């Protein structure tokens, strides 16, 4: 009995030894991976970049420089031509940097997709944003602006002037406009989503938002199946385009799922949140074109002064101060060979404030630099990148605010732009409002 027990004990020793060896190998492998990620790979990428003449920081070394983002090298490119090459992504060498925490706030929509999924969503979404479709939404913009103007008139009363934080007011206006244009008859429900998304930046409320959106979408799909005509809001146009895509290809997989539509609706909200003598000139231009009438879409293209002002504001304060891409394969750009895994930062704010491009008055507010259009506003026709590469600016969103009031900065205003995903005024935007 003792001999048997001893034999069993001796036989178990090799298994324990082998298990220890196996565990040790796993730990060594994990340690090797960690060392590679935190040390060997970063040093290898650094040597490859420095060997080609890419030095340290922008402040020390100018328009092509390198810094570190954790274990990842980040090359900053303050060059509009190279930035356009990266953003155009002609050869598919770049991918957008994914930040999971941000996708919870503004959805996993078109802006974050790559490859075939991006192609499908882009094809389905494009008809909803066609110029002819957007014309139909102008009354919604106008109605929201009229409500704001009316509220300001009541607040002003018989006083000569009124001080208010216009940043909060315009945030609310943006929410109203997006709610009306995205969901029309479901406007008030849409506003609740907008409010929740504002809170979501600090406290994730994904399930509640998705529940509200799915309810709106489900009711709209059911109405469409029963033969009701689609509405001229973004959701109706998106669902109509999606159904057409599915029917034409005869496969439901060719369209977007309910979850896809929910994510794109989140993007409608987040993307839309983000946009003194010149006042007189702009106000006079609006009055000369529209008088006391409501604005018409055909007249918006003739608002030259308004366009110049908006362009100059977007130049000085672009919503996205910087754009990030990442190489996922080895490639050449601007005579530099980048290994896979290098982050490329395109600092739009730096490009917009580059005196070599815009002149010595680069930090001044001078809308007339755009008097002959974007292409002649600077020495480099492609240096204006407020929304990335491509003309995606709508000039008609804020002009109605200038019809009834004059604005000037309040004494309490502190100029302190800072970035919270997009550029915001840190302490609000206090102005003095007076009737004209």
**Residue corresponding to tokens 């034409």:** 248
Number of other CB atoms surrounding residue 57 within 10 Å: 11
Q: Is the pTM of this model over 0.75?
A: no
- 32-39: long-range contacts (C-beta < 8 A, 24 or more apart)? 37/71, 38/71, 39/71
**Residue of 412, 418, 338 lying closest to 166 (CA atoms):** 412
Count how many domains the chain has. Answer: 3
Total residues belonging to the chain: 436
| Cβ-contact 312, 365 below 8 angstroms | yes
Q: Is 394 annotated as a binding residue?
A: yes
35, 6: one domain: yes
Which CATH number is 258's domain given?
A: 1.10.630.10
**Residue corresponding to tokens 């389905």:** 124
For residue 407, what are the β-bridge partners? 433
409 occurs within a structural domain? no
**Residue of 326, 328, 209, 327 lying closest to 269 (CA atoms):** 209
pLDDT of residue 363: 87
265, 284: one domain: no
pLDDT of residue 312: 92
108, 201: one domain: yes
DSSP state of 386: B
pLDDT of residue 378: 92
pLDDT of residue 55: 59
Question: In sequence order, what DSSP letters do the residues of 75-90 get, joined into one string?
Answer: EEE--HHHHHHHHHTT
Domain boundary (232, 248, 274) is at: 274
218, 258: one domain: yes
130, 40: one domain: no
295 occurs within a structural domain? yes
For residue 162, what are the β-bridge partners? 433
113, 217: one domain: yes
178, 221: one domain: yes
189, 293: one domain: no
424 occurs within a structural domain? no
pLDDT of residue 425: 81
pLDDT of residue 115: 52
147, 256: one domain: yes
219 occurs within a structural domain? yes
280, 188: one domain: no
266 occurs within a structural domain? yes
Domain boundary (239, 274, 309) is at: 274
Q: Could you tell me the residue range of the domain that residue 12 belongs to? A: 1-51
Domain boundary (274, 308, 343) is at: 274
**Cα–Cα distance for residue pair 362/356, rounded to 1 Å:** 9
**Cα–Cα distance for residue pair 384/16, rounded to 1 Å:** 67
- For the chain, which ranges sit under pLDDT 70? 1-13, 36-40, 42, 45-62, 89-134, 182-210, 212, 229-234, 249-255, 257-276, 388-407, 420-421, 436
Side by side, the strands of the sheet bearing 72-77 are 64-69, 72-77, 343-346, 323-327, 94-96
**Cα–Cα distance for residue pair 418/111, rounded to 1 Å:** 23
174 occurs within a structural domain? yes
436 occurs within a structural domain? no
């Amino acid at each position: 009995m003792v001999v048997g027990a001893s034999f069993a004990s001796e036989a178990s020793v090799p298994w324990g030894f082998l298990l220890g060896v196996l565990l040790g190998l796993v730990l060594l492998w994990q340690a090797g991976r960690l060392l590679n990620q935190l040390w060997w790979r970063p040093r290898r990428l650094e040597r490859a970049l420095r060997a080609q003449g890419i030095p340290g920081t922008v402040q020390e070394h100018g328009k092509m420089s390198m810094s570190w983002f954790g274990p990842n090298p980040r090359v900053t490119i303050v060059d509009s031509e190279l930035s356009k090459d990266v953003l155009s992504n002609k050869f598919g060498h770049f991918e957008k940097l994914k930040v999971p925490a941000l996708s919870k706030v503004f959805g996993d929509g078109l802006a974050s997709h790559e490859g075939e999924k991006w192609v499908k969503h882009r094809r389905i979404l494009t008809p909803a944003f066609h110029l002819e479709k957007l014309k139909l939404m102008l009354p919604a913009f106008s109605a929201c602006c009229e409500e704001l103007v009316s509220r300001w008139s009541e607040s002003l009363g018989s006083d000569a002037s009124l001080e208010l934080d216009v940043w909060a007011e315009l945030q609310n206006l943006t929410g109203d406009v997006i709610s009306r244009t995205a969901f029309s008859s479901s406007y008030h429900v849409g506003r609740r989503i907008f409010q929740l998304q504002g809170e979501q930046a600090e406290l994730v409320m994904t399930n509640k938002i998705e529940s509200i959106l799915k309810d709106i979408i489900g009711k709209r799909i059911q109405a469409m199946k029963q033969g009701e005509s689609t509405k001229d809001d973004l959701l109706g146009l998106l669902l109509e385009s999606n159904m057409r895509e599915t029917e034409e290809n005869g496969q439901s997989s060719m369209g977007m799922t309910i979850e896809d539509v929910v994510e794109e609706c989140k993007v409608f909200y987040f993307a839309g949140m983000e946009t003194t003598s010149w006042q007189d000139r702009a106000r006079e231009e609006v009055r000369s074109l529209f008088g006391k009438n409501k604005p018409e879409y055909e007249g918006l293209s003739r608002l030259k002064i308004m366009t110049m002002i908006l362009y100059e504001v977007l130049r000085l304060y672009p919503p996205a101060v910087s754009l990030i891409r990442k190489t996922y394969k080895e490639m050449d750009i601007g005579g530099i060979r980048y290994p896979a895994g290098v982050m490329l930062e395109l600092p739009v704010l730096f490009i917009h404030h580059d005196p070599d491009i815009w002149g010595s008055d680069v930090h001044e507010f001078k809308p007339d630099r755009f008097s002959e259009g974007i292409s002649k506003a600077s020495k480099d026709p492609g240096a204006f990148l407020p929304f990335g590469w491509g003309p995606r600016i709508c000039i008609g969103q804020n002009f109605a605010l200038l019809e009834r009031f004059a604005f000037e900065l309040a004494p309490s205003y502190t100029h302190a732009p800072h970035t919270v995903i997009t550029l915001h005024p840190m302490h609000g935007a206090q102005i003095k409002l007076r009737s004209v």
